[in-house]
Structure 1
């Protein structure tokens, strides 16, 4: 299992290194600027993919968590807090965790459309609050400074690429741990997960907390990317668009988050160059999400299926031991072969067997 995690991590790191080097070395500055936006959006999509794709819950307030991270970075900037942007981004992610846990509490009893309504209501409330608050430092024309080593657009792109790689690799490792297995079990069936001894409340709350942390990081990186922000960057419609693209692209996969980031950033750019209304993008995203739900296959899963068909399959080594080398069967004598005493079986708070 650890070998699979290491192989997945190395694959992600190598792919991002090659793509990042090509982007910095070949593309003009404007496209590097857009590529940075793609990666920041991909981080937000990874956070949403954790809740929706890995745990099977509906969250329509992801950009609200990102807004908490962005506003935290803004306040730390005008307060001249020590540590610089890197530390501020981490603090911004941590500031979003309590809200993630608070939103996760209704998920302990709600699911499906009911949970969607709760998270959407939170997004609307947060949107209303941000509309009355200007971004810290905006009126005084104080923008969020980048670290000197990554002050250029190319340097900041590499900085964001490293953060994305760390988050994607960390999620790949966590998915193969007991915690990650509990997320997948809850997505499949909450009752079956509880029957197998999985703490469903812990799985849900941990998913929302980690998801909010990652979303807060994306908001902090967006603050360093643009310098100053407005409430429209984290509006309810932004959360809905993010959810639609995450559903369509498969944001719980590293490549799916990149695909989603490309769609969210580059599709409006294409519409702008074609002089078409920007609302067409939201319609396309909604249709794509509907198609993914109807077929049960996201864009990332489609690409993985095609890659398995095109790439050669590694040969499986034949079994080393032949039949004659197998140990002889053990013949049991008369008497009791297996005895169990004091057996107790619990399914959550339900005791099925006790002291049998």
Structure 2
């Protein structure tokens, strides 16, 4: 163990408080993005008294790491006073918050290296789990309370700036969508999407070597690699698996083989049209969602006359130019945020 590293077990303890009152509110799951999410479990006939209660400032982790894409589901509850989690989850808390700040510990858990460590320390023949003893054996740097607080506050300040810029971004997109609805909502379809756009499939990357170009999947950016297959203004959505997530890209990226790539001279109109589609109606998959190129090409739409369409694109472009500036700023802030997390091992 490094001299400045401490064993986590001396700072944390398990919490096992059951929902004896049988409450059914705030039933939560834990994602590999390290967040609490509303549970999607089927609760018909469920005995809620078996659920565990997690309170604000406490952690929950899912010991089973074998089916989560080499990541561990773990999160710190901050958005609710309390919630309910499955009895197979492990709930724990920091014993003395003056010795170890929970938010600092959560930053440590957020490091990609911790995901790899958790998988390495997981054991089992049927399913691999990182048990409580292994969690207690985690080693991490524990600087002074003041230094921990400084790190946490720096991270929080960056996240607040990202949230603010994202809200401005969302507002700009809502403005353009309102213009789109005003242009199209009172009209019946008069053509199909193929008349204004091309659709093609993405490809599996040749190499997954780490780089600077986004590797884009059906649900978002999966990684950054050293090659790209598009260097232009495109729209990406899912072909198989996740679908209905409409993503914009304006520069070099790699669209993976579970995506469809859309190009159009009427970029903003196409983007907002795709955002308005009911994707559940297009699903062809029996075991997992599937959408084909033909499905998208044949989507019926109302196409305004060329003068209205050109005017819409010009107005939308002015608004979205501001959005692209904000997206660049958000990207820079995200890189700064990641630097804080990466640098934790140096303390």
Task: Mark yes or no: TM-score above 0.5.
Answer: no
Higher helix share: 1
Q: Which has the higher contact order (CA 8 A, sep 6+)?
A: 1
The TM-score normalised by the length of structure 1 is: 0.21
The TM-score normalised by the length of structure 2 is: 0.22
